[in-house]
Copies of this chain bind each other. A is one copy, B any other.
């Protein structure tokens, strides 16, 4: 597996100068990310591709090759894999499709390839996949160019969907450690990747897009151990018969009974989500936030409407919104104007300066396990968008002042999250839209505390954290 993620040399077999071909995209992606590894294009008909000397075949390359990326037509895959074995290549990624997912004939071809590899001690990724990356050494056979390094590893049985998850992850502000599109998993399976990533120091959270699991027992045993230390979040598809049919023609997996999967995931602490945004939202919280020790949520808002929506959403996701105790009301009276709601959700009645004291004291209250703030941090984007303001100076001064106040809050908030060991989920419906992110939210993000847009998202995240905490026996 180390040869896959940390190769010293990579050959692209089927490299192409034609930009409509995968053989071009992969070589281009590899070269443009300037990996520490040497990159060798293999193509019978070209001397140079993308400025790199090309070789007619693998054996013509001087020196050893750790990793081969194979993008030749499916009928040429068996001889190319044999060539890899002859060259002593350690691992190969077979991008090419047309194997088990297409039926009996493809399955036969896949067995043939696997048998050649097994005999020669060559490990295989795919076939029918779109590549991998390791940000630690700038090695990319795929992946959007804006990817940066971060604590999240992703295994995806679908290349397209993997790319989509990566794109959304970038948009939400997270970085990735490693990615692999595992395809048909003829040789290396999701269980193998899990085992490897469990020990990977750059990875704090593992997520996976799963269509089918080959060795359920091994998955279960592995996951049960890993989730005690590293969270695993999966999007397992194929809930319905229609989807199961599509899985079969996609990666040739059997989707299996959905209820069984639900039960298995629950028993080994794997967090199962239904949608990509849920996956990333949960992951962002797992990176840095403490796990809650119960499901009682304190809600802080700048406006009543947000409080109503947040309370509804909390209940929809199985959380509680306890009434405030008298002592808390007394404390909040010190921070808030007389017209505040005096109840949970805490509607601060327009107060801006009070939000810090409010969030801090709710985190402190021993009958509250998590806090959601809605709109109470993050200067509204209409203010930030100076370019459209007609009356400049005064407004800008005011906005500057608000930003200053907020930035001063940030360190204290992080201190309280750590001190009370409770998650603080900041949602900012009107801050940061239109591409201008409020500076306080940026600063929090730099410290691993990500913010969300809606109270719905925030409460859903807390409900997942609560269930994980319950599994780990952290709740009271």
The yes or no answer to A215 lying at the interface (CB within 8 A) is no
The yes or no answer to A77 lying at the interface (CB within 8 A) is no
Taking a contact as CB atoms under 8 Å apart, the answer to whether A251 and B454 are in contact is no
The yes or no answer to A267 lying at the interface (CB within 8 A) is no
Taking a contact as CB atoms under 8 Å apart, the answer to whether A339 and B98 are in contact is yes
The yes or no answer to A158 lying at the interface (CB within 8 A) is yes
Taking a contact as CB atoms under 8 Å apart, the answer to whether A347 and B303 are in contact is no
Q: Interface size on A (CB < 8 Å)?
A: 90
The yes or no answer to A97 lying at the interface (CB within 8 A) is yes
Knowing A19-B395, A32-B390, A312-B239, say if A430 contacts B164 (CB, 8 Å): yes
Taking a contact as CB atoms under 8 Å apart, the answer to whether A435 and B435 are in contact is yes
B residues near A415, Cβ cutoff 8 Å: none
Taking a contact as CB atoms under 8 Å apart, the answer to whether B307 and A250 are in contact is yes
Which residues of chain A from 275 to 313 have any CB-CB distance to chain B below 8 Å in the complex? 275-277, 302-309, 311-312
Taking a contact as CB atoms under 8 Å apart, the answer to whether A19 and B157 are in contact is no
The yes or no answer to A274 lying at the interface (CB within 8 A) is yes
1/0 contact string of A208-235 vs chain B (CB within 8 Å): 0101000000000000000000000000
The yes or no answer to A138 lying at the interface (CB within 8 A) is no
B residues near A325, Cβ cutoff 8 Å: none
Residue of B nearest to A237 (CB): B308
The yes or no answer to A349 lying at the interface (CB within 8 A) is yes
Determine how close the nearest CB of chain B comes to the CB of A431; give it in whole angstroms. Answer: 10
B residues near A270, Cβ cutoff 8 Å: none
Determine how close the nearest CB of chain B comes to the CB of A228; give it in whole angstroms. Answer: 30
Determine how close the nearest CB of chain B comes to the CB of A42; give it in whole angstroms. Answer: 18
Copies of this polypeptide in the complex: 2
Residue of B nearest to A303 (CB): B160
Complex: how many Å from CA A389 to CA B163?
Answer: 17
The yes or no answer to A446 lying at the interface (CB within 8 A) is no
1/0 contact string of A128-150 vs chain B (CB within 8 Å): 00000000000000001110000
The yes or no answer to A385 lying at the interface (CB within 8 A) is yes
B residues near A177, Cβ cutoff 8 Å: none
Complex: how many Å from CA A50 to CA B394?
Answer: 11
Residue of B nearest to A380 (CB): B163
Taking a contact as CB atoms under 8 Å apart, the answer to whether B381 and A167 are in contact is yes
Taking a contact as CB atoms under 8 Å apart, the answer to whether A211 and B390 are in contact is no
Taking a contact as CB atoms under 8 Å apart, the answer to whether A239 and B316 are in contact is yes
12 A–B contacts, CB within 8 A, in A order: A24-B394, A31-B390, A32-B389, A144-B381, A157-B305, A158-B308, A160-B375, A161-B309, A239-B315, A242-B312, A250-B341, A251-B304
Sorted nearest first, the 3 A-B pairs with minimum C-beta distance are A158-B305, A250-B304, A160-B303
